[in-house]
């Protein structure tokens, strides 16, 4: 494992996060202006947190989370909404370090449950999460709606 620093993301980190979203998560249409707008909205809500992993001052990974309340869990939960590591730094323990950082952060807040979704075809990601103690528990579903045509 290499020596990385993990800290809460700052405005200066948005470009590095955007590059990881484009290249590693496969969302090339996300641009820095849109991402900056979204992250500023997230930063206004204490339930959202984004952490970056730095190596020699360079962003090599990030994790985004949101805290929620559940009907079946008294402590609430943390949903991991994004996790990406730069390709050249994958399999070096950075992703596991980011997960552990968020787990410790959650424990300090009294939260003991985690949730995340991972694309069906991302088998390497599934194995990564399982190696880190996460279990497959359900299928995730999604739906996009067209606001103009679908007003009921």
- Give the pLDDT confidence score for residue 122 in this predicted structure: 82
Q: What is the pLDDT of residues 7-46, one digit of tens each?
A: 999 999 999 999 999 999 999 999 999 999 999 999 999 9
Nearest to 105 by CA among 43, 72, 63: 63
- Average pLDDT taken over every residue of the chain: 91
Neighbouring C-beta atoms of residue 66, cutoff 10 Å: 17
pTM of the model: 0.89
Distances (CA, A) of 59 to 20, 68, 91, 94: 9, 27, 16, 11
Q: DSSP class of residue 45?
A: S
Architecture of domain 5-131: 3-Layer(aba) Sandwich (3.40)
Whether 1 has a pLDDT exceeding 80, the answer reads: no
- Give the pLDDT confidence score for residue 151 in this predicted structure: 60
Structural contact between residues 78 and 100, judged by C-beta atoms closer than 8 angstroms? no
- Give the pLDDT confidence score for residue 74 in this predicted structure: 87
Task: Report how far residue 103's alpha carbon sits from residue 111's, in angstroms, rounded to the nearest whole number.
Answer: 9
| CB contact set of 112 (below 8 Å; sequence gap of 6+) | 73, 75, 106
Token pair for 29: 């249409």
Domain map (residue ranges) of the chain: 5-131
Handedness of CA 84, 86, 88, 93 (dihedral sign): negative
- Give the pLDDT confidence score for residue 90 in this predicted structure: 93
Dihedral, CA atoms, 98, 89, 121, 112, nearest 10 degrees?
A: -10
Name the residue with higher pLDDT: 47 or 128.
47
Q: Identify each DSSP E strand in the chain by its residue range.
A: 5-8, 48-55, 58-68, 77-85, 113-116
């Amino acid at each position: 494992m290499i020596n990385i620093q993990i800290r809460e993301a700052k405005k200066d980190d948005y470009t590095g996060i955007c590059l990881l979203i484009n290249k590693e998560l496969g969302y090339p249409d996300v641009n820095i202006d849109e991402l900056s707008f979204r992250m500023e909205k997230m930063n206004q809500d204490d339930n959202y947190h984004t952490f970056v992993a730095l190596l020699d001052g360079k962003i090599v990974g990030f994790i985004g989370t949101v805290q929620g309340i559940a009907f079946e869990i008294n402590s609430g939960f943390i949903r991991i909404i994004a996790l990406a590591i730069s390709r050249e730094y994958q399999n070096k323990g950075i992703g596991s370090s980011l997960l552990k950082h968020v787990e410790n952060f959650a424990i300090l807040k009294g939260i003991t449950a985690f949730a995340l979704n991972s694309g069906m075809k991302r088998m390497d990601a599934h194995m990564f999460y399982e190696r880190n103690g996460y279990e497959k528990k359900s299928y995730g579903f999604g739906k996009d709606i067209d606001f103009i045509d679908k007003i009921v």
